[in-house]
Structure 1
Amino acid sequence: MNKQQLASKIWESANKMRSKIEANEYKDYILGFIFYKFLSNKEVQYLKNELQYSDEDLKTVTEDDEQIRKNVQQNIGYFIEYNNLFSTWLSEKSDFSADSVNVALGAFSRLINKAHKKVFAKIFDTLQTGLSKLGDSSAARTKAIRDLLYLINDIPMDGKQDYDVIGFIYEYLIEKFAANAGKKAGEFYTPHEVSVLMSEIVAYHLRNKSTDIKIYDPTSGSGSLLINIGKAVSKYSGDSDNIKYYAQEIKENTYNLTRMNLVMRGILPDNIETRRGDTLEDDWPYFDEEDPLKTYEPLYVDAVVSNPPYSQAWDPSGKDTDPRYKTFGLAPKGKADYAFLLHDLYHINPSGIMNIVLPHGVLFRGGEEGEIRKNLIEKNNIDTIIGLPANIFYGTGIPTIIMVLKQKRENTDVLFIDASKYYEKEGKSNKLRASDIKRIVDAYVSRTDIHKYAKVVSREQIRANDYNLNIPRYIDSSEKNDCWDIYAQMFGGLPNFELDELNIYWKAFPSLRRSIFKEKNEAYSLLVNENLRESILSHNEVMLFKNKYIDSLKGLDEYLRNEIVENFNTVDISKEEEKIFQIINLRIKDNELIDKYHAYQFLDDQWSKIISGDLEILQTEGFVSVRQVDPNMVVKKKDNKEIEIQDGWKGHVLPFELVQNNCFQEDLNKINAKEEYLAEILSSYSELIESFDDELKEKDFISEDTFVWAEVKKALKEYSDDAEIVNKLKKASSLNAKEKNLKKEIKILRTELEIKTKKYIEEISDTSARDLLFMKWCSPLLTNLLSMSNHVIDGIVEEIQKVCSKYENTFSEINEGILNIESSLTNLTESLVCNEFDLKGIEEFRKILGAN
């Protein structure tokens, strides 16, 4: 199930539940049941795979069997007896009751392995205490829960998805319900893209550390930020089990969600340390409360990441001796941003790194915050400041930054990155694209100046700016002001100084400028040929550029086929995208007009949306999955109820459309020809209707520009003595008969083609399957990469055309046009016939026009 299908199912269920519970509470129910299903499935897998239990044997798993209970507790950290398994609830059907859930959740709490109490204790409290809200009676609650169980049974949660299932559901529901909840959702959920960005920065810093890695999020929310950090770090370390996760969260339901998410992503319970508490008031304990003397150990980690609530009130009283703050200062009570930052900084070890998301104001606000900022700079803790686009967090449109800090640094400068202009619009929000993230990470790694994007600033310069870190002070990323040349406006021509600004193109094509422009005078030029595009496209250097670029991509198709199609089983899905990009970049890096980030975006669009998911299927289900065809299930309304029914078939891996376009083109051509004829008939209806006079158009046989066929039959009798009307109606009826026949023929042809396609996929040879996989995975990428040279040329034409359009008409030409219009209006008024008052008005108008 992909994200879109999952979102659709979740939203459909949420709407059904609206009458029973508050919209924002819905996520607590669904996420709680998802986690219970995950734990149930995990236990069943353990019993079957490790202890060789059969389905019948599972029925003997009870709490009374001490041997099996202890075995399961010891190995997976908890125990669920057969009657309480998620799968058992489903199998009970009409015998299932809401009471079963309460009994099961109570038993789960009682049967947690003592060593894993911190991971699982009270994890279902939010779910259990809220069950009573699902209905006024046991029957109503049972029905509501049963509906949820069936929905959840379809949700993938085996950890093999290329996205964080719980995080996605949480984000989706937060976005949908934020208004109803009355909360600033952005304060406790970090969008996936921001999380990935922070993860890449941390992973790069820890790339040489392969064992005993500790990461910590003191405002963990859903836990997705920690999960993404772990995922990114493990790409370098090669072993995800070497990472220990520390998380703290104040809200009970969100704290439970953190733990659920960490466990569901396959993180070992022994590697999870979570704590519910106020991060600022109650710092991470240095000891286990049950044995404080023997367990004293300060928490210092390799990386801290956080997205704390912005500008939250806090109580700084009595904190001046707190080791987190005493050497830097106390944040003001109305804004805890620097309190969170200093907390994070305190907990990283000398070689560690921290990333924190904060509002833009922390860079320049004065008072106590200004003093803290000064101390951080003088103690050399601030490493990088990244300005993010506005409106990328749910529930708040304020500009935000990521600040990167370290305990010890060799350099004393600060890197500023202004990434605020790089994003895509998605609905009402802005979103970082994969290429935007890569651009930021590359700038962070290279730590060099990039025009209008990145700047390395010395501590001396920051001191000179009174420790103000506002990004625009150091990077001018504003758009160039549009200027208008007076001479060109008056006398025509194109200012050479404006053409000089296109120097990147003149450098790439040294003789192009001379061939498309001629000299007007020493400071201005004129176009040689009005057909600018043709002049550029036909230029020898431009054609050479295109051919050279095409040559640079030769052989890439063979590489991709061998790398991911032929050897799909050996592909490391987590690392392959970057590997392919390095190959692409190696081929295009010498061409400064080709933007490698555009190329990366083309690759990521294919990789993240199509290739990685298919590879996952092939690697887990085998190559036989390319021959699998699944029922295409759709939701339709029947008797005011939504029911799911089968509507044809779809390929498990190979799309029907892909197969048909490449293997059944003749069949498609027949269908297309008939559909074109059908479109002509529909167009003919409009023409016929237009031929009737307005009175007839109001008759019953025409409704909203269409014929009402039952009324057409009556009209034939009614107007039998009017040959013209009868002929038109007969023609319409004849066309309608053809329309019906065509639709039947098209339906038959489509059904036959679907059967052919299904049979073809189910019997496809390995070679043909690989050919189609290449077409699905690689062909769109190669086409987009090849198009990049055309985009460059389009850019040249567009930039030159902008300059030409500005000076297309001189003021004298515009003035002449105005004078001609005035003269025409004056002449027109002379021929007007009017009364004495109108005449006075016209005379005044003529004076304005300058008439004598």
Structure 2
Amino acid sequence: MNKQQLAKKIWQSANKMRSKIEANEYKDYIIGFVFYKFLSDKEEQFLRANDFSDQDIASLSEEDTETVDFIKNGIGYFIAYPHLFSTWINKGSDFDISDVRDALSAFSRNIKHKKVFEGIFDTLQTGLSKLGENAKSQSNAASSLIYLIKDIPMEGKQDYDVLGFIYEYLLGMFAANAGKKAGEFYTPHEVSVLMSEIVAYHLKDRNQIEIYDPTSGSGSLLINIGQSVSRHIDDKNNIKYYAQELKQNTYNLTRMNLIMRGVLPANIVTRNADTLEDDWPYFNESDPVNSYQPLYVDAVVSNPPYSQEWQPKNKESDPRYARFGLAPKGKADFAFLLHDLYHLKPDGIMTIVLPHGVLFRGGDEETIRKNLIEHNHIDAIIGLPANIFFGTGIPTIIMVLKQKRSNTDILIIDASKGFIKAGKDNQLRASDIKKITDAVINRENIDKYARVVSQKDIRDQNYNLNIPRYVDSSDDAQTWDIYATMLGGIPQHEIDYLQRYWQTFPSLRETLFTQVEDTPYYQLKNNQLTNSQLATTDIEQHVYQNQDVKAFFDRYRASFANFPDYLYQQLVDQVTTLKIARQETILANDIFARLQGFELIDKYSAYQALDDLWQTIMIDLEIIQTEGFTATKKVVPNMVTKKVKNKEEEVQEGWVGHVLPFDLVQRQLLSDELQQLQDKESRLSVVSGELDALIDELDEEQKENLLNDSGSSFSVSDVNKALNTAYADIATPEITALNDYLDFLETKPKKPAKLDYVANELAVNWDNIEANKGGDYGKSKVSAYIKTLQATHEFTKDSDEARLVQISDSLDEEKTLKLEIKADSDALHQKTKETIEALDDATVNDLLNHKWIVPLDQAMMQLADDVVSELTLQTQALADKYADTYMDTTKQLEKSENELAGMIDHLTGDTFDMAGLQALQALLKY
């Protein structure tokens, strides 16, 4: 399994195990065990790398102080052999909850980096009792948990961070499925990436970086910033992480996350405290005088709790707030913001998630907002979609601030409409993140999306930063032209609305439209068809035959002519050496360069197409770079969940390619066998359809006699029984003569009599029956021949008997096809497995080309087709909009009313009926 599949499997299993334990608590237990496994496995890896044998590891104990110190100096902690995660697994049914308690207690005694490791398992340790009512039930629950996570690999090369991915996946799933209580500690991954990309660009030229999250939660914001920044610097160990978190269990998540992502303990500085009440200490508590040093960092990022209550009393002189003012008691949003800003270096940057209200609320918040604007700290405001954070549907913003800026304007972005639905929540797409990031970096005005606003404009609005005041992202209201509605024609201004197309295809407008004489109205050019009759295919034909459109496609294809070769060089040729984290950006920049001059094509649609395919490519690259190129020639068991004896169990169903999918290999290398199988599957579909049609032709009595109990399909035994009965009733002259011969045999005649009978019975073709040695014919042979004659008898066309034969033949063919398809499918599956395992490197590269490069090239080509298709649809919509005029509709209605009124004259009835009809007739003629 790749890391995505493994993470999903663990979540599904964890969700099934969860019963009375709340998701937020259960999260702490399973994540705690994951983290302990990480530490345990890391120690074993460290020992083996230092030539410790299995026997040496088995003898590890706290009494061996020299070895304990060696290990603590190497990895920062020590775990004795009885407490290793692998030892728990090896215990099997002898595992007991006391093993966990003893291990966690011992761990706290054997740590070097106190600030990093001390108390990190407190949440797990104190919560073990909630796993069950007694030691046995607690042991069973803990055993289930450790077996659930035992297959997570804890090491990897480059970016193959399996553990970190699974950890983040589980956090996100717990947050998404547990409501506000569990969601408050977690910033959705996409929002975290967006903030990280903005920060990373600002810091891209620095070699040493310090980042800080004062409300760190799970630590995902810090981790993502670190990953984004590390793409620009050579040594990720040059990033130092500061984190502060109020809740202890969440504070532990921060530390676990940082440690499991490979951050050196020396680069982790964390604190469990109230950020607003107890600012980051300027000194080491053990030596406050000599260690005094304020914390100023390159970047601060935070997602604080929204509109939280706090106590501003006696904080007027607090240096964090003194310059700007105190946030009101009921809403601490600006208190968090000012805290973040205070800890920035002069050339630093911060991003913070806040509710929309901070942009326009009055009172103390207006004072702070005014001071921030006048002191030129607010760099950008990004309005996010609603329902994007777990547990709250309120609209939120990201505010970007800096200590010092060369410009005085503020970039305001309305990104509220860029998202995809993900269940009940909204989710930023890769293209949305890229578009926002580019807008922030380039500080450009984008219609209905972004605007650079001057300080003067903001002062004119009384320092109200509400996004709709500056960026109108509303859709254009649909208008209806009164003249065109009444009399027809397409208004010129509505054609002008498609001006961006006419700029690229200058001659196309005249190809499609002709002006109605002496009016600013047009109609589609077509001598035979009216607007309402013109089909989309006709417009499409005119569009694609236009010379400007053809030139557009030629120019576009030329721009991407060497794109497949470029991708092959970038991906396949460098498959084991390329930097995965940087590669998507390299490819995106190349695509954007090729799209220069193609204004009709949205480069962010191209980026989304790239990212959609990149998710698969990235997984393959991670596997290849972690396990070696031979991983491409591996197949692994295809495990599926099935009910076995009323219990769900994982069982193997064949194989799947570790990197190369079976269907790809079959299409490229086993096409003949695949085609034969598909032909049979197609024929089976036809036969099944014919049987369904035959069911529909049956009357109710036939359905009762020929279908199964559910009435959904034929009963083979009932069909055969009915067919045998039909055959038994067949009485041709030859069959009658043969039956008479069988009756004659019942009289036990002598042989000469038999021979005379045969010689004189001319209705029978005796040569078709195998004779006895004496020349006469036995009962069994004659009976078999009778059945052959009956079976080959042709019933009258469309008779019930003929339909029975058709049903029987179709059922036989269906059964044969199913057996052949099963056998062929199994054979093809086995041959595909053997083919993958025997691949040479050149063939693997060709298959990777078809898996990665061909779809990406096709996706880029599709973008040009999508542009022309969209123009066709919009042109058709214009034609349809005014095709049926009000005048035409009125005339047609009047005609219909007159026809109906005339029909009433031919109706008869009693006095009251006629009076009613006369009233209706008068109304129709009115």
Band of TM-score, shorter chain: over 0.9
| 1:143 and 2:140 aligned | yes
Amino acid at match of 2:108: S
Partner of residue 594, structure 2: 587
Partner of residue 440, structure 2: 444
Residues in 1 aligned to 2:222 and 2:920: alpha-carbon distance in whole angstroms: 74
For residue 398 of structure 1, give the secondary structure of its aligned residue in structure 2: coil
Alignment of 1:399-414 (within 5 A): 399-414=395-410
Alignment of 1:530-541 (within 5 A): 530=534, 531-541=538-548
Amino acid at match of 1:600: Y
Larger-gyration structure (1/2): 2
Residues in 1 aligned to 2:461 and 2:153: alpha-carbon distance in whole angstroms: 53
Q: Deviations over 1:228-275 (max 9, x none)?
A: 001111111221101111111111211111111110000001111111
How far has the Cα of 1:298 moved from its partner? 1.4
| 1:422 and 2:418 aligned | yes
| 1:802 and 2:809 aligned | no
Mapped contact 1:184–1:396 kept (Cα < 8 A): no
2:200 to 198, 203, 214: 203
Residues in 1 aligned to 2:590 and 2:599: alpha-carbon distance in whole angstroms: 17
Residues in 1 aligned to 2:723 and 2:847: alpha-carbon distance in whole angstroms: 55
Change (3 A) 1:171 1:704: farther
Residues in 2 aligned to 1:148 and 1:700: alpha-carbon distance in whole angstroms: 53
How far has the Cα of 1:671 moved from its partner? 0.7
Amino acid at match of 1:682: S
| 1:707 and 2:707 aligned | no
Change (3 A) 1:117 1:497: same
Residues in 1 aligned to 2:674 and 2:649: alpha-carbon distance in whole angstroms: 31
| 1:67 and 2:60 aligned | no
Residues in 2 aligned to 1:787 and 1:275: alpha-carbon distance in whole angstroms: 52
Amino acid at match of 1:550: R
Change (3 A) 1:196 1:188: same
How far has the Cα of 1:23 moved from its partner? 3.5
Partner of residue 245, structure 1: 241
Residues in 2 aligned to 1:15 and 1:729: alpha-carbon distance in whole angstroms: 53
| 1:749 and 2:756 aligned | no
RMSD: 2.1
Residues in 2 aligned to 1:819 and 1:14: alpha-carbon distance in whole angstroms: 69
How far has the Cα of 1:14 moved from its partner? 2.9
Amino acid at match of 1:290: S
For residue 231 of structure 2, give the secondary structure of its aligned residue in structure 1: helix
| 1:194 and 2:269 aligned | no
| 1:556 and 2:556 aligned | no
Mapped contact 2:77–2:110 kept (Cα < 8 A): yes
Q: Deviations over 1:312-355 (max 9, x none)?
A: 22222222222111221111222111111111111111111110
For residue 455 of structure 1, give the secondary structure of its aligned residue in structure 2: strand
Partner of residue 453, structure 2: 457
State which drifts further: 728-737 or 627-636: 728-737
1:769 to 835, 840, 844: 844
Residues in 1 aligned to 2:105 and 2:813: alpha-carbon distance in whole angstroms: 68
Mapped contact 1:678–1:742 kept (Cα < 8 A): yes
Q: Deviations over 1:16-39 (max 9, x none)?
A: 323352333221111111001000
2:465 to 461, 469, 475: 469
Residues in 2 aligned to 1:363 and 1:704: alpha-carbon distance in whole angstroms: 66
Partner of residue 683, structure 2: 677
Residues in 2 aligned to 1:155 and 1:523: alpha-carbon distance in whole angstroms: 70
Amino acid at match of 1:84: H
Equivalent residue pairs, number: 842
Change (3 A) 1:413 1:828: same
2:814 to 739, 744, 751: 739
How far has the Cα of 1:817 moved from its partner? 2.3
Change (3 A) 1:364 1:847: farther
How far has the Cα of 1:657 moved from its partner? 0.8
Partner of residue 108, structure 1: 107
| 1:614 and 2:620 aligned | yes
State which drifts further: 56-65 or 400-409: 56-65
| 1:96 and 2:95 aligned | yes
2:643 to 605, 621, 637: 637
Mapped contact 1:187–1:310 kept (Cα < 8 A): no
Q: Deviations over 1:792-813 (max 9, x none)?
A: 1112112222222211111111
Mapped contact 2:378–2:399 kept (Cα < 8 A): yes
Residues in 1 aligned to 2:913 and 2:312: alpha-carbon distance in whole angstroms: 79
For residue 884 of structure 2, give the secondary structure of its aligned residue in structure 1: coil
Q: Deviations over 1:770-821 (max 9, x none)?
A: 0001111111000010111111111211222222221111111111222233
1:568 to 569, 575, 580: 575
For residue 383 of structure 1, give the secondary structure of its aligned residue in structure 2: strand
How far has the Cα of 1:584 moved from its partner? 2.0
How far has the Cα of 1:142 moved from its partner? 1.9
Partner of residue 510, structure 1: 506
Amino acid at match of 1:21: I
Amino acid at match of 1:631: P
| 1:165 and 2:172 aligned | no
Residues in 2 aligned to 1:8 and 1:447: alpha-carbon distance in whole angstroms: 39
TM-score calculated relative to the size of structure 1: 0.95
Which segments of 5 or more consecutive residues in structure 1 lack a partner in the other structure? none
Residues in 1 aligned to 2:3 and 2:574: alpha-carbon distance in whole angstroms: 27
Residues in 1 aligned to 2:819 and 2:610: alpha-carbon distance in whole angstroms: 42
How far has the Cα of 1:698 moved from its partner? 5.6
Change (3 A) 1:694 1:7: farther
For residue 210 of structure 2, give the secondary structure of its aligned residue in structure 1: strand
Mapped contact 2:28–2:249 kept (Cα < 8 A): yes
How far has the Cα of 1:362 moved from its partner? 1.1
Alignment of 1:312-323 (within 5 A): 312-323=308-319
Partner of residue 552, structure 2: 545
The sequence identity of aligned pairs, in percent, is 53
For residue 632 of structure 1, give the secondary structure of its aligned residue in structure 2: strand
Which segments of 5 or more consecutive residues in structure 2 lack a partner in the other structure? 527-533, 731-794
Mapped contact 1:20–1:134 kept (Cα < 8 A): no
State which drifts further: 157-166 or 518-527: 157-166
Partner of residue 525, structure 1: 522
Mapped contact 1:30–1:148 kept (Cα < 8 A): yes
2:124 to 127, 142, 145: 127
Partner of residue 360, structure 2: 364
Mapped contact 2:304–2:353 kept (Cα < 8 A): yes
